[in-house]
Amino acid sequence: MKMLKKAKIKIDGMSCQHCVKTVTDAMMGIDGVSQVKVNLKKGEARLKFEQDRPDLEQLKSAIVTAGFEFVSLK
Ligand SMILES: [Cu+2]
């Protein structure tokens, strides 16, 4: 059984459910990411991923490419 790890990403610029879906799809497209839950009000995405944390630059660029602003990663 694989251990899942978690991260919380703050994202600026999401304003509706369409944005939520765009961000979710962008995150799910990254290798190793197995679950994404976006909270529109809080402007954050909670990720679950396998083994090592996905590359920070990869996460950032996925968010920026989708048209949003990466704020922080916890
Ligand atoms: Cu939107």
Spatial contact of 46 and 10, defined as CB atoms under 8 Å apart: no
60 CA → ligand 1 middle, Å = 18
49 CA → ligand 1 middle, Å = 25
Q: For position 55, what pLDDT does the model report?
A: 81
Indicate the pTM of the whole model: 0.88
Any long-range contacts for 33-39 (C-beta under 8 Å, 24+ apart)? 34/4, 35/4, 38/11, 38/14
Determine the topology of domain 4-73 in CATH: Alpha-Beta Plaits (3.30.70)
Q: For position 1, what pLDDT does the model report?
A: 55
In degrees, rounded to 5, the angle at the alpha carbon of residue 15 between the alpha carbons of residues 65 and 64 is 15
Which sequence spans correspond to the domains of the chain? Answer: 4-73
Which of 29, 56, 33 lies closest to 46 in space, CA to CA?
33
19 CA → ligand 1 middle, Å = 4
CA distance 8 to 55: 14
Question: Which tens digits make up the pLDDT trace of 5-46?
Answer: 899 999 999 999 999 999 999 999 998 899 999 999 999 999
14 CA → ligand 1 middle, Å = 6
20 CA → ligand 1 middle, Å = 7
